[in-house]
Structure 1
Amino acid sequence: MVVYLSEYIYPKAAELLRQQATVVDTFENIEEIDAIIVRGASVTAEMMDRAKKLKVIAKHGIGCNSIDVEAAKQRGIQVIYTPTANADSVAELTVALFLLLQRRLYEANEGCRAGRFTSIAPRDFLGTEILGKTFGQIGMGNIAQRIAHIMNKGFGVKVLGYDPFINAEESARRGFEKVDSIEELLERSDMVNINVPLVPSTEHMISREMFDHFKPGAVFVNAARGAVIDEDALYDALVSGKLKAAACDTFVDEPPTGENKLLSLPNFSATPHIGGNTYEALEKAGMEVVTETLRVLNGEKPIHPVHL
């Protein structure tokens, strides 16, 4: 078996793969490749047509927007992913970002480094408690459920959820009070988070018009995919005061640089897509993506196939 792998994965997972397959890091002889494992790299229909032996495309992570899943389905190629491996890590980062925003930790750190403070507990530098506030969650998948649990059990927040594919009964089982529209969720929430895959129907889901519905003083976090929000509209909302603050771990162009005007704002915090970047998540995702790839190559059914 020949498996393509060019990006870093957990070393023991890479070792396991090399014990059972020939691993290549180029597409020079793509016609010989049986499986492709990717983290951020793209897999196109044209590549699939050249890879005559290709049986499986494995995503190390959750978002499969870099893979032409429809083309794979048409060609009988199995696409798999690791939807739960990094869920705890992404959830923990998301909660940390809400704490950062509500307590203005980024500004506090920068102010200390620049020597701007002349006293402790400056009276003009107040934060906001999370305790007892309302938290709005767009999407109710694995990561969203973990975030909701931490926010509710740890901080006593009221948890609202929007997901058109989940009914009220199932929403309650997952820990959410279901709302019927994003607009309603935004208007009722002090904190808003989004966890949805990037597909045509979710691109710019948080559009310019949606920013008119945010509750005054609300904060917003996006650790899903950059294009699920309109970054230009987010910038304008932060400048105008429609939003108190925001944090993003994902961007349209990654990693973010000084060319992204959001990074010029004091009420915005950026991180370079590190939601799943922990020792524990990399171990779980790496071992799962390798064992699942080998499972498919050996003619077995995968545990986590990607469905359109």
Structure 2
Amino acid sequence: MLPMNDARKTVFLRSPIHDDAVAFLKADARLDVVTWDNARMDNWREEADAVILRGMDLPGEDIRAAKRLKVIGRHGAGVDSVDVAAARERGIVVLNTPFENSQSVAELSVTLMLSAARRVVYADHLVRNDGWAEGRKGKGCRELFRNRVGFVGYGRIARMTADILRNAFEMEVVAYDPKIPAEFWQERDDVVRADTLGDLFAACDFVSINLPRTPETTGLISEAVLGQAKPGLILVNTSRGGIVDEVALATALETGQIGAAGMDVFEQEPPAPTHPLLSLPTFIATPHYGGATEESLRRVACSIARETAQALFGTATESYRVA
């Protein structure tokens, strides 16, 4: 924990966050709060005891240049945009919100599965472009009911998504996650463990990607893995871009090896208008907004505001600490 210190601290909100979280911070007499639209923002490296970030990078050079920085609060679960190693070098606390947006992301995963299976975006296009009769044929449409869904990574969000699919559609759940100990699988009768990625892709009708992006997971869903997929498999990714080889996925969609796909994340965001996936009628894209519901944005912002304030005065919750 940080040492106790009752001196007034300066918190820079480098990105817009929910009004309730801003009000919470400003109500704390121990804090001087500088918002994203304040002219002082240019001086954050000199003045900030803490920064709160949403949707922006914090590279190592900025962390090393910040003279007073003690706490970095990341609005959201992923911390790949923050140089955590540089923060550790300086003894700076890094916080995230690993719990608050899980429901929203799980709901989007299910939404993308349903939309891809029923080709909702393409059907909408047909209705708007004199294609009503063609749309009514339901060509390529699939059901989720009693089909098999696989998860690459079986953490909190994956398990929430699995619960929805199991209860609503009686889906059989398979998961691949070599980091989960053997005892977990032995104690569960509601999920089947896949020994390899190839086994999972070959056995499932739907696959959801639920992994952080790391050097080990970058490019994990490769051309070779996609080539092992059960023909017509529907793929969804709401975790991080770069885990799926996007060029290989475009090819697999064009050949029909992958029946449809929905992705909330891309290797480069936003993707270029000429991205090969964006021209395919069997592909659905959303703008990395899995956690961006009204309810989730308030929960995340209020939690990171609370935890950042507490960390500055030595009482951060351990489960929110990354470093």
CA RMSD of aligned residues (A): 1.7
Equivalent residue for 2:61? 46
Q: Determine which of 253, 259, 264 is the counterpart of 1:244.
A: 259
Contact 1:161 1:178 in 2 (8 A): yes
Deviation digits for residues 9-60 of structure 1, max 9, x if unmatched? 1111011112232233324241221111111111122112111211111111
Contact 1:138 1:194 in 2 (8 A): yes
> In the alignment, does 2:156 pair up with 1:142?
yes
Amino acid paired to 2:68: K
Contact 2:96 2:322 in 1 (8 A): no
Alpha-carbon distance, 1:103 to partner:
1.1
Contact 2:127 2:135 in 1 (8 A): no
The whole-number CA distance in structure 2 between the counterparts of 1:176 and 1:207 is 24
Identity %: 38
Indicate the SS of the match to 1:295: helix
> In the alignment, does 2:23 pair up with 1:15?
yes
Superposed, 1:93-172 pairs within 5 Å as 93-118=108-133, 121-122=136-137, 125-171=139-185, 172=187
Superposed, 1:1-308 pairs within 5 Å as 1-20=9-28, 21-24=31-34, 25=36, 26-118=41-133, 121-122=136-137, 125-171=139-185, 172-173=187-188, 175-307=190-322
- Structure 2: which 5+ residue stretches go unaligned? 1-8
Contact 1:134 1:160 in 2 (8 A): yes
Alpha-carbon distance, 1:175 to partner:
4.5
Deviates more, 1:88-97 or 1:7-16: 7-16
Alpha-carbon distance, 1:258 to partner:
1.7
Deviates more, 1:273-282 or 1:12-21: 12-21
Superposition misfits of 4+ residues, deviation over 3 angstroms: 171-175, 305-308
TM-score by length of 1: 0.95
- Structure 1: which 5+ residue stretches go unaligned? none
Indicate the SS of the match to 2:225: helix
The whole-number CA distance in structure 1 between the counterparts of 2:98 and 2:217 is 18
Deviates more, 1:162-171 or 1:69-78: 162-171
Aligned length: 307
Deviation digits for residues 258-287 of structure 1, max 9, x if unmatched? 222211001101111111110110111011
Indicate the SS of the match to 2:132: coil
Amino acid paired to 2:231: P
